[in-house]
Amino acid sequence: MFVKDRFIQDCVDALGEGQGAIQEVVAEAVADGARILHELGEPEHAGIAPIYRSPELTIINFVWAPYMILMPHNHQMPATIGIYSGREDNVFWQRTVVSIDAVGAKSLGPGEVIALDRNVIHSVLNPIGKMTCAIHVYGGDFFAPEKQRSQWDHETLLEEPWNVERVKAIFQEAEIRFNATKN
């Protein structure tokens, strides 16, 4: 049963055991998406809601707007993603001499978890007409990483510095666009 404070403590405890241990904690949590929704509340808006933040660990409740797309980006730290409602499609990329090339994809549904190492580059799409909810656990401070993060322009696939404020705006814009189609 998901209890936010216990989940946080379980993640903190698992941190020293490695990403596999965190993946087990996240998998146990997202196995009961209804309980997470009850504990964290039904999402009202798309966005990035920190649950816990320290230099060693960040836990975020991500709510993806319907049909939202987030540009390719890296984390510069291990990440574990667990879906508890909706669907998240990930496209994985690798660096080339001047940009990036797509090298694979993984679709995640409720109860599914993926672990990404610190060097992974991925883009994210919510392909369905409802909010997608996910718990993300990062092995570092997501908002102030030790090593500079990058994002890649959707059109040119050229690298640029990560801009968390721009990412927050993308969540808001995606929600506004979706809501405009409902009228």
% the chain with pLDDT above 70: 99
d(CA 24, CA 1): 14
pLDDT tens per residue across span 40-84: 999 989 999 999 999 999 999 999 999 999 999 999 999 999 999
Query: Percentage helix, strand, coil, to 5, in the chain?
Result: 25, 35, 35
d(CA 124, CA 118): 16
d(CA 78, CA 69): 21
Q: For the chain, list the domains and their CATH numbers.
A: 4-181 (2.60.120.10)
Give residue 183's pLDDT. Answer: 62
pLDDT tens per residue across span 2-48: 999 999 999 999 999 999 999 999 999 999 999 999 999 999 899 99
* 159 band by pLDDT with thresholds 50, 70 and 90: very high
pLDDT average, residue stretch 114-121: 96
pLDDT average, residue stretch 117-133: 96
d(CA 76, CA 162): 11
Tokens of 182: 């409902």
One-letter amino acid at 132 equals T
Q: Are 82 and 29 in contact (CB under 8 A)?
A: yes
Mean pLDDT over the full length of the chain: 95
